[in-house]
Amino acid sequence: MSYLALYRKYRPSAFDEVKGQDHIVTTLRNQLRTGRVGHAYLFCGTRGTGKTSIAKIFAKSVNCESPVDGSPCGQCRICKSIEDGSFMNVIEIDAASNNGVDSVRQIVDEIKYSPSEGKYRVYIIDEVHMLSTGAFNALLKTLEEPPSYVIFILATTEVHKIPITILSRCQRYDFRRISVETIAAHLGEILESEGIGAEPKALEYVARVADGSMRDAESLLDQCIAFYLGQDLTYDKVLEILGGLDNETYAGLLRYTVKGDVARALGVFDDAMIQGKDPARFVTEFITYIRNVLIAKTTPRPERVLEYSNEQIELLKNEATHYSTETIIRYIRVLSELSGKLRFATQKKVLTEVSLIKLCVPETENDSGALLQRIEKLEASLAEIARNGVVRSEGVPVAAQAPEEEEEEDDIVIPVLDEEMQKIGASWDRIVGAMKGPILVTELKGVIPTAGADGKLVLNFCEKESPDGTEDLLHNEATGKAFIERICGSVKEATKALLGMNIEVTYRIEKEKKFKALKKVDISDLVAAGVPINTEL
């Protein structure tokens, strides 16, 4: 048998298998139990929420020879023939390609004849809003008073385009977007049936990208399985195949823009573009992240609004403490304006860069949000001056500062570099370039690799305080250690993939002055210069 896509293979065939539409399933089953079946139904809602699937289940239920509690048995001849599409009295029509008056007249002519088998002749008209005005008018009388053995089920994603005269003749059912939790759980069931493992975080990301559509989620999952055939799905793998970026990337970008670090903010965006990300999607996801931060800051119980794990919500709450509500709202406004322009722009990259600079430099705008951000920066600077004991009163000279004693540089001890370390030093730029995610690339560009004891590779990070007193993503108390460990793990994976070496990677965080001295023994510098190395660490 030829391969079936996951959304077709796992399409619900009974009411109990439908996910996320309990309010509709319960109503239809009660009608079937009591025999109060209507003659015309309108199913409306976003794509991939189960409209056509429930229509087919309903068609099976009204024609089933042995229905069970308002649901089709799935075993009788009629149920099986409807399932495989061979039942003549369940007719599916695509209104997008059959939208003329002639198509509707054919239906009107057919319904004069009672069904050759089964109790009802069921017409399922998908994307019914695509019918022409003449076709709707031709359908009106038949839809109002069809024969007792005919049922119409109309499905649409754009209910506002359907004439009121049609709406008034149908029972309307609004399909809801399916929650991230429900989609992720269903994807887990599918993978279990397929014998494939996956990280919960990976399934949650797929569910979130699907935006409430179960069919989209199953199609995305199918794509991920095909790309990593025979492998378990991890969060990083899903990000790679779907072209997404994790929250750490957007958290870092938000920090850089608020601090006014134009170079690092543009660096994150540039790295994303090098990886082939779409500017419009990048901006949309950044807006979504900032919106989540805003909700975490302003809502007493954000878990009721945000479909994230408790751990992720805590990270958002911690992140939200660094920003004022006014600044966050200004960012959403600027980026939303950019998102609208990108739809028709020819220079999407340039427009995005200009907007990021606008976020970094509030002086470029004169609206209240930008002025508030400038005041916040000024207050932060004044607080820094107060902490350092600097007085700027008229007529009173600034206290003379004692000249800083020059810190004696420790003797630089150059480690023995075996062949493996030399290869790592020579390939360091390649290792950095292989990182998955712009934020990792940006942070690693400021890391110094050195040789440690027992053949370990040591990544040296600089402990640098921000002028405004805030911490960046690397030194954040809540996320710093986990983020650094993730960097070490990524370097280890890249070293193994590029050089075939399985080397232990650890890290140190050095003070800024010691970090500058350490730069003199950067592995890559030594290897590039061909320095003879023969002393022990």
Q: Are 309 and 469 in contact (CB under 8 A)?
A: no
Q: Which residue has the higher pLDDT, 448 or 390?
A: 448
Annotate 63-114 with DSSP letters as a single string. H-SS-BTTB--S-SHHHHHHHTT--TTEEEEETTTS-SHHHHHHHHHHTTSP
**Spatial CA neighbour of 247 closest among 514, 478, 71, 500:** 478
Span of 35-44, 278-287, 495-504, 517-526 with lowest mean pLDDT: 517-526
Question: Which CATH number is 180-242 given?
Answer: 1.10.8.60
pLDDT cut 70: percent of the chain above it = 82
Largest Cα–Cα separation, the chain: 105
CA count, 13 A, side-chain hemisphere, 129: 13
Encode pLDDT of 513-527 as tens digits: 777 766 544 555 545
Task: Give the sheet arrangement for strand 121-126, strand by strand.
Answer: 90-94, 121-126, 150-156, 40-44, 171-174
DSSP H helical segments within 361-427, as ranges?
A: 368-387, 419-426
**Six-digit token pair at 505?**
């990677």
Torsion of CA 163, 167, 169, 174, to 10 degrees: 160
Q: Find residue 123's DSSP bridge partners.
A: 91, 152
**Six-digit token pair at 81?**
């023939």
Q: Quickly state the pLDDT bin for 122 (edges 50, 70, 90).
A: very high
Answer yes or no: is pLDDT of 387 > 80. Answer: no
pLDDT of 156: 94
Span of 270-279, 324-333, 396-405 with lowest mean pLDDT: 396-405
Answer yes or no: is pLDDT of 121 > 60. Answer: yes
Q: Are 158 and 129 in contact (CB under 8 A)?
A: yes
pLDDT cut 90: percent of the chain above it = 33
Decide the pairing of beta strands 457-463 and 448-451. antiparallel
Encode pLDDT of 144-174 as tens digits: 888 899 999 999 999 999 999 999 999 999 9
Instruction: Name the pTM for this structure.
Output: 0.66
- Residues 356, 351: Cα–Cα separation, whole Å: 9
Answer yes or no: is pLDDT of 237 > 60. Answer: yes
- Residues 380, 465: Cα–Cα separation, whole Å: 13
Q: Residue 306, by phi and psi: left (phi above 0), alpha (psi -120 to 50) or beta?
A: beta
How large is the average pLDDT for residues 309-327? 87
Q: Round the CA-based radius of gyration of the chain to a whole number and report it.
A: 31
- Residues 62, 118: Cα–Cα separation, whole Å: 8
pLDDT of 366: 60
How large is the average pLDDT for residues 379-384? 64
How large is the average pLDDT for residues 16-25? 92
- Residues 183, 161: Cα–Cα separation, whole Å: 29
Q: Are 507 and 461 in contact (CB under 8 A)?
A: yes
- Residues 180, 423: Cα–Cα separation, whole Å: 45
How large is the average pLDDT for residues 172-186? 93
pLDDT of 499: 83
**Six-digit token pair at 43?**
């199913």
Answer yes or no: is pLDDT of 115 > 80. Answer: yes
Q: Are 369 and 326 in contact (CB under 8 A)?
A: yes
Give domain 247-383's CATH architecture. Up-down Bundle (1.20)
Question: Which CATH number is 6-174 given?
Answer: 3.40.50.300
Answer yes or no: is pLDDT of 190 > 90. Answer: yes
How large is the average pLDDT for residues 385-399? 47
Q: Find residue 154's DSSP bridge partners.
A: 42, 125
Which residues lie closer than 8 Å to 160 by C-beta, 6 or more apart?
none
Q: Quickly state the pLDDT bin for 413 (edges 50, 70, 90).
A: very low
Q: Are 398 and 390 in contact (CB under 8 A)?
A: yes
**Spatial CA neighbour of 141 closest among 166, 164, 159:** 166
Q: How long, in residues, is the chain?
A: 537
pLDDT of 524: 53
How large is the average pLDDT for residues 10-14? 91
Q: Quickly state the pLDDT bin for 218 (edges 50, 70, 90).
A: very high
**Residue 187 identity:** L
How large is the average pLDDT for residues 67-84? 88
